[in-house]
Amino acid sequence: MNRVLSLQDISCFGKCSLTLALPLISAMGVECVPIPTALLSTHTGGLGDVEFVDLTDNIMPVAEHLKRLKINFDVIHIGYLGSAAQIDIAKKIIDIFKHEGTTVLLDPVMGDNGALYRRFDMEYVKKMRSLAAHADYVLPNLTEAALLTDVAYTGETAAEDHIGRLFETASARFPSRFIVTGVCSGDDMIGAVSRHSDPVQNISYMTKCHNASFHGTGDVFAGVMAGALAKGFKPEAAVCLSVEFTAAVIKNTILAKTDERFGVRFEDCLSLLTRLP
């Protein structure tokens, strides 16, 4: 069985991070092995005071135990990291478990809509840039792409010349393949794009944009992407699947009239993943 190591926090309520990665990756027929970086009672988006347990000191002992068991991974999936210290630990995790054939997928969770999330500053951004250099694929949204590349943020609807500057700068700074998520076009479409020095390898997959915003959609995309790469999907096919599934989850959540603070209603859509070859 293919196997993914997922390094990120776990929020007990709110459907994000590991509470999404575990069921999504498992539904794809891929084993998901979590290493939690923190335990939160809920996500931090409008659900009141959050109980937060920092697990920084526990990450490496867990990793060392897995190393002694000689467990190998097809994909190392890195999501939310709560501190600069955890970024340094993530690099050690990569050093321990990345072997020939292992893919490192980084979702550089730092901000959205042109602003950093609370708890983060530019020193954290610099650390994240150093981690991005160790990844095979980096999945930033437009805000995170701007932070990683020092290219000005111009909004969620990005012109083609702006997208070109982002990728030109990213390719000059990082060996990683950037796939930018949540890119809006001027014709009410949204999706993910990636540019390559060889135009044949460019990726652009868009779907209808719904006038709604929910916590966890980036985690949905990254989780499906991790599972798809572990199953051997090519990058283009993995991106298409991730965009389509995320869109299906958003549509289902809108129809269910779910409180946006409660996250996405992904459970009804899992059959779309269990039927994959």
What are residue 57's phi and psi, to 5 degrees?
A: -70, -15
Match 């690099």 to its residue by tokens: 91
- Any domain includes 178: yes
- Any domain includes 256: yes
- Any domain includes 213: yes
- Any domain includes 45: yes
| Structure tokens, 215 | 């916590």
Instruction: Please count the structural domains in the chain.
Output: 1
Among 276, 252, 277, residue whose Cα is nearest residue 264: 252
Mean pLDDT of the chain: 94
Answer whether 5's CB lies under 8 Å from 226's CB. Answer: no
- Any domain includes 276: no
- Any domain includes 275: no
- Any domain includes 67: yes
Reported confidence tier of residue 45, pLDDT bands at 50, 70, 90: confident
**Mean pLDDT value of segment 200-205:** 90
> The domain that contains 195 carries what CATH number?
3.40.1190.20
Alpha-helical segments (H) within 98-234: 122-132, 142-149, 160-173, 217-230
- Any domain includes 277: no
Span 51-62, pLDDT tens digits: 999 999 999 999
Q: Rounded CA gap, 17 and 244, in Å? A: 19
Q: Rounded CA gap, 53 and 76, in Å? A: 23
Reported confidence tier of residue 3, pLDDT bands at 50, 70, 90: very high
Among 56, 51, 41, residue whose Cα is nearest residue 10: 41
pTM over 0.75: yes
Match 């994240």 to its residue by tokens: 128
Q: Rounded CA gap, 53 and 223, in Å? A: 23
Range of the domain at 40: 3-269
Residues 6+ apart with CB under 8 A from 236: 203, 205
**Hey, is 106 helix, strand or coil?**
strand
Answer whether 6's CB lies under 8 Å from 253's CB. Answer: no
pLDDT of 155 above 90: no
pLDDT > 70 in the chain, percent:
100
Residue 28 pLDDT: 98
